[in-house]
Structure 1
Amino acid sequence: MYSLTISQEFNASVETLFNAWTTPEVISQWFAPGNMTVPEASVDFKVGGAYRFVMQNQDGEQFIVGGEYREIAKPEKLVFSWQWESSPHTTTVTVLFTALTDNKSKLELIHTEFQEQEFCDKHNEGWLGCLANLPRALA
């Protein structure tokens, strides 16, 4: 099994950063890499609740991911399953939020249970692309 870990700091309070992962209107502003858009983001934000995000590229091709929330500790931690609609494999995402100052926070993303290094690498690239778009949703 393969896993990835990404740590980044953001100029936002830990509450603002946490909410960017839980509010559909905010998720739709950033939760896709590069120039992709998020035409649909549905969230049933509770343990056992489901989420579904549709990412769309400029050609109209859609990439759909969903899963369920396994652990919610606001505003420190989120754990959720991750499964592409086109894949039988489910992986796990853990996001840790740490307040550094009033308006600066650290995010640590740990994505585990990949069957192959290639998928792990692709997800690492995808997450970096998503996180690069996150600051615009925090303003």
Structure 2
Amino acid sequence: MRAPEPDSDLDLNLDRVMTASAAALWRCWTEPELLKRWFCPLPWKVTHAEIDPRPGGRFNTRMEGPNGEAPANDVCQMDSKGCFLDIDPGRRLVFTDALREGWRPNATPFMTGIVTFAPDPDGGTRYRALVLHHDRETRIRHETMGFEEGWGTATDQLEALARSL
């Protein structure tokens, strides 16, 4: 499966070269205890993670604020139940909140994420997170929620953790 080219009307994209290895970044995405340490910007935290990295496998998280509060918007729910659509170990994972474990539909889908890890010619790992939305309004809503800052900060946390492994 090849990732689509980003569509600026529908998608948000984060593309970086990281000094961490693809193997360490993969572990941070697929091991629940590691994911909990980086997946949302501090002081927010992931308090629960269930990850079964296989097509149809669960990708469930619970996020809480520093005082136990849920996010103050209608999109970013405290509990997110999703599933993996495609897995290429060490190279690519595709997940969505449109479906939950076992390919069962969720009531209010928001996004699909395609995360890739590839060797960079200058060293390190090219890390790309492409986030697909079903319409322009949803993409704008995600952007307004702070996609760039939030996913950027979480990615900084991801790289620091992966480098420490």
TM range (shorter): 0.7 to 0.9
Report the identity percentage.
Answer: 24
What code does the residue aligned with 2:160 have? R
Q: TM-score, normalised on structure 1?
A: 0.86
Equivalent in the alignment of 1:132: 156
**RMSD (Å) for aligned C-alpha atoms:** 2.4
Equivalent in the alignment of 1:112: 132
Cα deviation code 1:11-63 (max 9, x no counterpart)? 21111111211110110110112311111111122110011111111121132
Question: Would you say 1:23 and 2:31 are equivalent positions?
Answer: yes
Question: Would you say 1:67 and 2:82 are equivalent positions?
Answer: yes
Question: Would you say 1:50 and 2:72 are equivalent positions?
Answer: no
Contact 1:82 1:93 in 2 (8 A): no
Number of residue equivalences: 138
Higher relative contact order (CA 8 A, sep 6+): 1
Question: Would you say 1:13 and 2:21 are equivalent positions?
Answer: yes
SS class of match (2:133): strand
Partners of 2:152 and 2:81 lie apart in 1 by 19
Structure 1 unaligned regions, length at least 5: none
Q: Structure 1 residue 114: deviation in Å? A: 4.5
SS class of match (1:30): coil
Q: TM-score, normalised on structure 2?
A: 0.73
Greater C-alpha radius of gyration: 2
- Determine which structure has the larger strand proportion and give its number: 1
Q: Structure 1 residue 124: deviation in Å? A: 3.7
Contact 1:95 1:109 in 2 (8 A): yes
